[in-house]
Structure 1
């Protein structure tokens, strides 16, 4: 559950542009344009203000206050519709929901594409699901996050800790866990019933176990008979095996006889093949001896090849050494040049280093003052902000004085004059109210007495009309004249009383109007809050001290900036000189680096001498090769290539000669193999005589083996029949086992059901007040606390921190230390309550609060707290779009847009915006 609002969303939440209502509740045809900023919806109670907010929730999620949707349709009409245009993530969307008493409900969602809306979803369910996807929340979460209901701000101040805890839990959706906790009791009762049924079914398990014992006994009897047959079969199988072993020996002799005969034939074939190989090998040996003769002819020619190759290698080496000689001569020339550059630029190099060191020192000194310019900008900006704060506070003082003068119908310029006037006016107004109340009480008493008198006169008049000759008072006889006289007297007295009562009634109405005027004036006087001016003036004095401190800092910073500019100019001058010396400095560094990269310059001259010596040595070596070769060779490479061809032929022939020994060896082995093969064939002939296989004796053994096999099969057949009976009984036992196993399944099911009931009981405990509910509160509380702290800081009270405990009781920390909600002023309480409610909204909306709707936020608050909340709401530029439904005219000053809703003859409409 926490996951649905505990996330760090990067989406834009929502901005409402237009709400159009046709026959929705009391609105026949109303279109409301909304934009960012604070929109105030004004109107009398029952005018249809809150219906605008309800139309928003109905369009988005079908959320409404009626028991049935038909109750939203305006009286004497058949259908209604609500159209909502809104922005999400920079895209414009439009929802239209219709409800017809006859044809039912329809819904469409479109997205702006160019100049028109393209269909995105249709049908109530599809539209609702698409809205959930766009806003990343459902209807309940949307209302809890965005819609601040009547009395919620007051409840966060006045309610007890437990009531506040329950209220916030409902906003966070935790109450659904409480419902789940209660509903799980019904589920557990159902599973307990299933458990009782399973326990009753398992009572028939004992009878099946008796059947299983009987079947087991039958199986044991048959098994015993099978064992007896097994013993007979075993004895017969031993005799059968003896005959079988003898037969196998004869089979083996026959196999050896046939194998030896076959091997003798194979050996004969092998001998013929070896005789052919002998002829081939003798021919090969003759061929190799001819090759050896050719190699003797080539040997004197190829001996000259190493001398010619040595001559060529020496010539190549001489060529390489001459190249190295050229390179070393160039390097030695460069070294002498580098030394000359270093000598001519050394003084410039030292001047450059010294000047560069001075520039670094100056730059370090300048860096000590580099932050002065940024500090100067910050102090100037701070001074503007403090000055704006002073102007805002003075404006607040002016606003309170203006409001007080408006209420008192005066034109005072100072708080003291207003206070003096209040001291005089307030007792007078209170006295006028008291006087009016006393006069009203007197008139009401007199009117009541007259009514009692007239009530007393009705009885004698009634009796005189019923009895003609008896006095209703003394019961004595009277004449008709006296009766008429009494009737006239009583009737006249009643008429005079009615006239007097009517006059008194008029005076009573006038007094009530007068009392209402004085009471209204008294209430307005009570609303005058001069104490807040003292707070504003105190803030002004503190701000003026801040400006003094800032000005002194600015003077000091200006001195630092002058030093900074002097250092900067000095650095520029020295950098110009450095730029002029840079060429000589870089020439010195380049020559020095080049010289250092050569490591040991003297070594190059030594290397040059060595190479020159090697050149002379190689020339002598080449001369000796020419002498050995018998003179110089004009085409040295061609001669080398020709001799290498002869050398390759020689090596190829030598490869063939190498095989000579191998062929001789194979020839000798083949001759030896032929002799051995002839000896082996003679031994095989003797082996056939040793085997002595008798084919007739073998046939007799086979017949006896067949007879024993027939008897053995008969016994095995009998055994198989008993095996069948045993299998049938085994199947019966398995059937019984299956039945028992089915009951075993029920036993496992019963055991699992008991475990499941334990699990349900454990889960139910988790869903209780001390389980997940408490954990969710603990997880959500830090998020709400941080968001509440962020909003509270924007109200600019002198408090450093704000904390929430487990019951969401607030503790704030300020100059006087730790304070509870009861220890702070009424205005601060209102600020805390508003910050807490906005903190909850911020948490539920996933950290992306752009829209909030407040329904009569000042209701249930006393005059002072109501005024403080109004002042706070006037500052609420921290939320992009705020829609406030109210009848408080004082909130008009906070509005960017005002909508006035009226209701005439049952129809609500917007008169201006």
Structure 2
């Protein structure tokens, strides 16, 4: 597995970053706190999510940003993959709004599904990834500080031995489960045997025969009683039917009498109603005559004749309404004209006010500009005086350079020449001082020997010694050197005076340049102010002219407003005249509408008269029908009275009573025998059920015996499988421990050449022991900080190598990632770390190694260098990928 590219947007300290990663060794370099580790955390987050970083989603989004995006491209097993995670912040809470894994076979969506798919694809979850390939910052000693059991779990998970323990546990759970089921089945088998024995002792077939014989006898007795009960029921039904028939005739007779009375009463009521309807008809005719007289009177007040009909009245109303509509349209037109004139008047008044306000503003603006002009002219005069002063100061400096040893502009070079000359003299004087001091010491020592007369070491005479013979020459040379020193001291003082002069000239030259720049700026500002004064004066004049024009415009608008008000008043007078005409029309229309209302009332009265006449005729017809019905009912009443026989009725009542008495007596006998029959049938059913249950118990007993035999075999197989997985895990762990111990010693020997240590021993429980050359055993935590860190890196390298070489057929392992591995290493240990990296790349064949470090010593080991910088003002990091670290070093 190899990282190919990572792209970040608003992730932690990165606003926007895009980095490609190649095979070989890539060093991500930069100062502490620049954001190097964040690049690796982004890759790790893309694979496994925020849980793997022990951080919240809010901590991953750049402060102040609303969204963050991380994309990772990686290769695995010869295929290319792409993961994209996008976060969004709402109400100070970040959530994952997009998580997609594009793979050759399709797309996986959702944070949980993507994390599960990555773990399955790489054959390791985020913890295994950290323990194997990702040495995170500050966790370089994680494996060495772990307990043996923790170390065992880490390495077993990496080598997939945890699966064997999982399989062994599953087999154990299966064995226990089968054992529980087996015990339950055995207990059920024993219970079935007891149940079968208990049922066989009851002699169920004999009990069944006795119950069936007694049931036959009871059924024959029930048949006899049923026949007798049926005869009694027939007698009861005949008597009851006859009684019901007589009862129905009596009821019908009562109904006929009641209906005769009702018909008689209804006929009398309808005759009264006919008389009342005759009175109503007469009253309606009188009211109709009154309405005709009133209509003639109302028509006389109109333009119509007194015999005009309804159509003529309606036609005249239509004409009057049309004239009213015309007058209403005329009023609307006058109203619109009045409104338009009022609006014109108001618009002109508003325009006049606006023009006056604008004129006032322009005059006020002109006044402000005139006031500012005075201040500008005063300021301009001050600046002109300042310009004269600057010119005089510049001229004074230029005059000062006329007597100077250099021209204006060459003072800096002159000061450097004098400084070099002063440095040479001071150096020469220092050398001369040292020579004088040495020569004075030699003369003093020779004088002391001369005064002693002999050498204190060998005891010989020193009168002819070379040092004594050159003593006088040394004194002469010392006198010459002191004279030379006095001359050099004077020369130095003179040069120092010249140097002070040169520095003064440099200061005056700097002041000249500064004053010159200031004068140029001030001259440009004076020109701008003069031009501004002219523009302002023209602007004041223009504002005054525009104000005069606006005041004239306001006066015109006021005149137009008065004319519009007069036109609006004319329109209002026209509206009043139209309304008066409409009032007259309304009165005439109202009179005609009253005539129409009387016509309607007249028609209603005619309809009422016709309706009443029809009602009287209907009532007369209905009474004739009722009288015919009344005669029929009286004939039926006579027939029913003749059909009722009281003697036959008494005989039927006696038959009914005898039949009911017998049915009550026989019912008790039948009930007793039916109860006995039901008891016998229930007993027979129970016995038959027990016989069927016995058969079923025997079948279940046979099936359960076979199940127990199968479970006993399955229990033995599960126990064997459990022992096999446990033994296989122990053997594989032993093999892995031996291989890992060998690889660890190979790696440690390569990166840590120290005569103090002999070998490393890794026990089966993953306990680590280091043996010195003298045979003494040490725990890893007894090593120094640098040795312990290097030891842990060696252990990580050995585990990585074992994982890469020990799982046959597995996909390539992930990149080896070292985050700040030199924290606990000194310079010597760093060089050994470089050898470990080279060993992992060339000997083991790790396809991709990524190292994060601020240490410059690791840069030379890189095939590619990624440089990380952080802007102190924005607190944002930037990455720059530099091809071939060697070229960067050059």
Q: TM-score category by the smaller chain? A: 0.3 to 0.5
TM-score by length of 2: 0.38
Larger Rg: 2
